[in-house]
Structure formats: C-alpha cells, structure tokens
Amino acid sequence: MITLSNTRPPVFVPWDIDVARINFGANCGPSSFAAITGREVCRIMRYFLHFERCQWTNLTQMRHAFSEAGYVTNVRKCELPVRGVALMQWLGPWTKKKFFSHWSLIHTHWIAVHNGWVFDHTAGQWQSFREWQRQTATKYISEIPQATGWAVKYGVDVSQSSSAWFGF
C-alpha cells in the first residue's frame, strides 16, 4: 500500500497532451513518460516510434523508450514504483486465470508515480494516490464492461543515467 509522505506533488504537468493525442495518437504511455521526465509529450514521441503501427505501449516498449532517452529502469512486478511509471491492470474475467496473459493487456493503463503522487493523463494533474483511487480509477472501472477493480501489473522505477547528456 502507498502512503503519502509530507511532500508536495511534482510541479510539471505536460501542457500538450491534447496536441500530442491529435498529432501522434499519444495516450497514457507517452503522457506518463512525459510527466515523470518533465518533458512535453510532443517532444518525447520520438521514443515511441511504434505508435506508427499501434497506439499502445507494452512494458518492453516503455523500457526501451526510457533507455533511448538516457534513463535507467528497474521493473517491479505487482508493485508501484517510488518514482517512475506503473502499468495498471483493470481486473475482470480477462485476469481470472492468467493475470499476466497477453489477453489482459487490452485492459491496462499507464500512470506516472512520484513519492505517492500519481499523474494520469485523463485527470490532467498530479493527484494523491488515494484521490486517484477514489476518483480516476473508479471512473475507469465504471466505464469498462465487466471490470471489477484494478491492480498494479508492473512498476517501473526510473532514474537518470549518470552518463547521459540531455540538451535541456
């Protein structure tokens, strides 16, 4: 369980989520990546070249995007990261037998996580984890037929590589 420390939410919120959605089909994956790296969504789409073929991001593609951008990742199964992104699994009949099956991937959603704060592109702001649970996740679950809840599929801790150069 996540507990919120006495920290303030991160300041950066990508302003160009709608622009990137219209121009590139960007969704939760690129938006979460942008939020946790402090970059605009349109500027990070170069790390999501698979969007030319399909507009969803699996764990391998997300880790590749971070690697290409000069970040180091550490994957945790079924656990939120301290600072990074998490692939949330909407629960339902598709997860009863095999939680990690290919079929369950169509009911997943990326969020950014930073010290107990969550950025979900549909909310457009950083929320406390509890607020995200009560408002944003509950709304998703209510809109997915047969959905019964949510769980963390993968947490990806993200840190900057000491050898990377970023031309900010």
* C-alpha R_g of the chain: 15
Q: Tell me: pLDDT of 41 over 90.
A: yes
The pTM of this model reads 0.90
Q: Tell me: pLDDT of 104 over 80.
A: no
Please report, for residues 57, 71, 98, 133, 148, the alpha-carbon distance to residue 93 in angstroms, rounded to integers and kept in the order given: 22, 35, 10, 21, 9
In the predicted model, what is the mean pLDDT of residues 67-71? 97
Residues 6+ apart with CB under 8 A from 25: 51, 55
Q: What secondary structure letter does DSSP report for 122?
A: T
Residues 6+ apart with CB under 8 A from 49: none
- Which residues lie across from 40 on neighbouring strands? none
At 110-166, the pLDDT tens digits run: 999 999 999 999 999 999 999 999 999 999 999 999 999 999 999 999 998 755 444
